[in-house]
Amino acid sequence: MNKKLTLLLLLTCFFSALAVAHSQAEDAPRKKIVLIAGKKSHGPVGNGIHDYPWSVKLLKVMLDQSNVADQVKVEFHLEGWPQDESTLADADAIMVISDGRDGDKFEEAPHFQSDERVAVMQKQIDRGCGFLTFHFSTFAPDKYASQILDWSGGFFDWEENGKRQWYSAIETQTAALQLPAADHPISHGVKPFTLREEFYYNLRFNPDDARRQSIAAVPTLPGREPDGKVVAWARERENGGRGFGTTCGHYYDNWQEPQFRKLILNAIAWSAHAEVPPGGVEAKFYTHDEIEAALAAGSSAEK
């Protein structure tokens, strides 16, 4: 009789603990992800190049329909910097998909367009907010080099003392990407893949930064050793905040590549301190019509 009673008590404790854990998981606040899109550039709408607004809307829908949908809430801003920048104050991760300034061409990425905006971003970084750059938004002026090296770990360096003298470089290839950090959460479930891409390389990194990890590299790029072939990286700051950057993203059609999608979605989730599943963040590609229908059904979360 005592054995049965003991077993009953143990089972009661076990299921009570399980119920509490489940309840806590359901009650855990979702990670807030803010996606900032610059205006489309490099030709007319529909040419599939530097299509930042569609990329941001696609990411919103993919995350909302993914296997981490219960962990995140996603809002997006088109046409650059949020009109109400106070929305950044409680973001768990901020991703910028936009142009960057290249000498006298194009304009700075939204977060670098004024010292005031840099200060706003620094405030978020200081409280541990994640930060991600994508393709052209990896461009940064030398005056903010120390900031971006801390925020995300690397950048495309186009200038020397204010003049257009590229330290970094650009080359379009159809190439296989290597994934040197197989154990990193951003690499969960991602298999080596091939992309036709306008890769930026010879990026500016701090060679002594032990907090940065190379996530993807292209062996066929003529980059300088040791990190000149790196095209995606991640950094965990001393305060626990996380950063990610990739120079991929020139062609919108690359979102149709499942491994590329998973890599970027993993990076967003990781940067926001969401848990990346062992098999990675799973989401299908959506057509423009499917995106618009999904946003309309979910009231879009455009701010």
Instruction: Please report, for residues 202, 203, 287, the alpha-carbon distance to residue 227 in angstroms, rounded to integers and kept in the order given.
Output: 7, 8, 36
Q: Give the integer Cα–Cα distance in Å for 27 and 48.
A: 40
CA atoms within 13 A on the CB side of 143: 9
Q: Give the integer Cα–Cα distance in Å for 51 and 88.
A: 23
Q: Give the integer Cα–Cα distance in Å for 115 and 195.
A: 36
Residues counted in the chain: 303
Domains of the chain listed by start with CATH number = 30-297 (3.40.50.880)
Per-residue pLDDT at 21:
41
Spatial CB neighbours of 118, under 8 Å, sequence gap ≥ 6: 111, 112, 144, 147
Residue the block writes with tokens 């626990």: 240
Tokens of 178: 């290597």
pLDDT digits (tens, 9 = 90+) for 64-101: 999 999 999 999 999 899 999 999 999 999 999 998 88
pLDDT digits (tens, 9 = 90+) for 160-177: 666 778 899 999 999 999
Per-residue pLDDT at 215:
99
Residue the block writes with tokens 């990286």: 233
Per-residue pLDDT at 175:
98
pLDDT digits (tens, 9 = 90+) for 216-242: 999 999 999 999 999 999 999 999 999
Spatial CB neighbours of 92, under 8 Å, sequence gap ≥ 6: 31, 32, 33, 129, 130, 272, 273, 274
